[in-house]
Chain A
Amino acid sequence: MRNAKLMAACVLCMSLGGCAATQYDVAGASAPLEIRSVQTREYDALDKPMTMRAVIATLQDLGFTIDQADLGLGIVTGTRMLVSDMRMTVSVAPKADNRVSVRANARVGETSITQAEVYQDFFVVLDKAMFLTRNNVD
């Protein structure tokens, strides 16, 4: 009797655990405005093509290969092969007053990266690349 109850509890827990797996995460889970602000920086040093150049150099510095790039839309996607693949998409959009906005989002395997410090590190590397590009260093 006791064993039967224990078994029933196990089965219940397992079936509850299984329920989550049947949902498709098509719309994501994060709060759009919060995550956008963490993923976005504005620059006024360079124009869009030169910012793209700095973004690509940054991705290469971080060990990515480029899967897709489009200068017109200002979008670059790269992959870095870790234990799971890390994929990152960076978009560069011109703003008013010669400013350029850069937004990056990254996933590792099945997980979207939401930690602010990871994006901060990305922008630290991008800041350096922007500085070098602005000073005509290859």
Chain B
Amino acid sequence: MNAHNQNYIRTRLYAVLLTAVLALAGCATQPDPNLLRLSESTLEIRAMQTRTFAAASETEILAATAAALQDMEYNIDQIDSPLGIISASKVSDADSTSEKTTRFIFDLLCGCGGSQFAADKHVITITTVVLPSLAVQGDFVTRITIQQITYDKMAQVTSRSAIDDPEAYQAIFERLSKSLFIEVNDNA
């Protein structure tokens, strides 16, 4: 290989390197353009997240909702009563007892500290919106949305998602229904 060829190869190498660096620098890509497109299951999800309750006033049902959130061990982050919004959150242990036991045994057997890679805590954020029904006077429509972030023992995020388990919503509405019953009877 003569000197001319070597120079040519070297020049090309630099050009490729420079292009790669420039291309990487341009990697601040735009997010998925379909981010705000409704999914086909929206109506089902909305139905799962919504219940209608009869109550004497908006204040009564908002107070019952806040109390139900406290019953479920949430702290209230934000309230806007004219808009009927209550947002709350809690940090909870992400591991079931059986998972913990399995991991403890795993740690004992291999002594490799496997626990540090395991899920450790959830941050659960819940928003309830309670508004007077537009269709039936005296009814209040309550809609709940819940999301979670899971962190591992190293405080790294392992998942972020909406919670769309119907049983979770069912359990919350049962709590809310009981809380409303207590609220009504306390004030009676």
A residues contacting B by CB (< 8 A) are: 2, 6, 9-10, 13-14, 16-17, 20, 49, 52-53, 56-57, 60-71, 76, 78-83, 85-86, 106, 108-111, 113-115, 117-119, 121-122, 124-125, 133, 136-138
Please tell me if B35 contacts chain A, counting CB pairs below 8 Å.
yes
The 3 closest A-B pairs by CB, nearest first: A81-B160, A136-B134, A65-B127
Query: Using Cβ atoms and an 8 Å threshold, which residues of chain B touch A125?
Result: 36, 38
Q: How far is the CA of A88 from the CA of B129 in the complex (A)?
A: 17
Q: How far is the CA of A83 from the CA of B157 in the complex (A)?
A: 9
Q: Give which listed residue, B82, B85, B135, B147, contacts A80 with CB less than 8 A.
A: B147
Query: Using Cβ atoms and an 8 Å threshold, which residues of chain A touch B78?
Result: 66-69
B residues contacting A by CB (< 8 A) are: 10, 13-14, 17-18, 21, 24-25, 28-31, 33-38, 42, 46, 49-50, 52, 77-78, 80, 82-83, 85, 87, 125-127, 129, 131, 133-135, 141, 143, 145-149, 160-162
Given A13-B17, A121-B35, A121-B36, 6 extra CB contacts under 8 A? A6-B14, A13-B21, A56-B129, A65-B87, A81-B160, A138-B135
Assuming the contacts A49-B82, A85-B160, asked whether A115 and B30 have C-beta atoms less than 8 A apart, the reply is: yes
A134: shortest Cβ distance to chain B, in Å?
9
Q: Give which listed residue, B35, B49, B133, contacts A118 with CB less than 8 A.
A: B35
A52 contacts B83, CB within 8 Å?
A: yes
State the main secondary structure of chain A at its contact with B: mixed
A38: shortest Cβ distance to chain B, in Å?
13
Q: How far is the CA of A82 from the CA of B31 in the complex (A)?
A: 11
A9 contacts B14, CB within 8 Å?
A: yes
Assuming the contacts A6-B13, A9-B17, asked whether A65 and B36 have C-beta atoms less than 8 A apart, the reply is: no
Query: Using Cβ atoms and an 8 Å threshold, which residues of chain A touch B82?
Result: 49, 71
Query: Using Cβ atoms and an 8 Å threshold, which residues of chain A touch B127?
Result: 60, 64-66, 78
B37: shortest Cβ distance to chain A, in Å?
5
Assuming the contacts A125-B36, A136-B135, asked whether A71 and B80 have C-beta atoms less than 8 A apart, the reply is: yes
A2 contacts B134, CB within 8 Å?
A: no
B35 contacts A113, CB within 8 Å?
A: yes
B148 contacts A61, CB within 8 Å?
A: no
Query: Using Cβ atoms and an 8 Å threshold, which residues of chain B touch A20?
Result: 25
Query: Using Cβ atoms and an 8 Å threshold, which residues of chain B touch A110?
Result: 28
